[in-house]
Amino acid sequence: MIAPPNHNPPLFDWADAKQRLEKGRRSLLDAEQLTPEQSQQVLQERARQLACVPAQALDNRQVMEVVRFRLGREEFAIASEYVLELTYLSATTPIPQTPPHFVGVTNLRGEVTAIIDLGKLLKIPPDADHSNASEQPTQVLVLGQERPEFAMVISGMEHLTILRRDELLDPVGVTGSHRDLMLGCTKDGVLVFSGEALLRCDELNVDQSE
């Protein structure tokens, strides 16, 4: 006798999420090379967020783990399942006849990976303080799923956190075709990118076959 399929979605595993967030947080602290005071602030913020576990059980469709980061002075987020790593930008090769938001390509562990300045595409003013800190290496988030699709230049990393999908609001101030890149906006004004939409966006892909 064949058992009937189980249509109930799996419950969100908060214990596992805490472990993954803690591991991710440690990796981000190492990558950011934060001062002891900055690291302590991140630790305190993570402790506050992890204490906010809802009494009602939630399934995986109701919550999402996200990485929060900055473009210019604006804060954004993207589901962590689309983030392969946080790293520093190494030597890049410009791509002829491409839009300004294409920084170039780089060799990322044997993969030729395009570098995207999403802030330029979205016309986000650069962070003057970050731009003037020329001695600081440029950080990039490598996006993809099974393999790197492209790396996105960021102004800085914030932290990993968990969001409820039903608490996302309509993205404020985003119009035109770029509205499709957003899942929504948090109550504190953080725009949440759709990882799937970013990876299939024609404006963020370059033909490397030539």
Confidence of residue 3 (pLDDT cuts 50, 70, 90): very low
**Confidence (pLDDT) at 55:** 45
How does 35-63 read in b/e, with b if 16+ C-beta sit within 10 Å?
eeeebeebeeebeeebeeeeeeebeeebb
Select the highest-mean-pLDDT range: 7-16, 119-128, 156-165, 185-194.
185-194
List of residues 6+ apart from 169 with CB closer than 8 A? 184, 185, 186, 187
In sequence order, what DSSP letters do the residues of 82-139 get, joined into one string?
GEEEEEE----B--TT--TTEEEEEEETTEEEEEE-HHHHTTPPP-HHHHH-TTSPPE
List of residues 6+ apart from 117 with CB closer than 8 A? 100, 101, 102, 103, 152, 153
Residue 102 has pLDDT above 60, yes or no: yes
Select the highest-mean-pLDDT range: 6-20, 22-36, 70-84.
70-84
DSSP run (H or E) holding 198: helix 195-199
Domains, the chain, in order of start with CATH, read 14-51+62-204 (2.40.50.180)
Per residue in 40-96, pLDDT (tens digit) is 565 555 555 545 554 455 556 788 999 999 999 999 999 999 999 999 988 899 988
Q: Which residues pair with 106 in a beta bridge?
A: 113
In sequence order, what DSSP letters do the residues of 20-55 get, joined into one string?
HHHHHHHHHHHHHT--HHHHHHHHHHHHHHHT---S
- pTM equals 0.70
**Confidence (pLDDT) at 133:** 54
Q: How far apart are alpha carbons 28 and 15 in whole angstroms?
A: 20
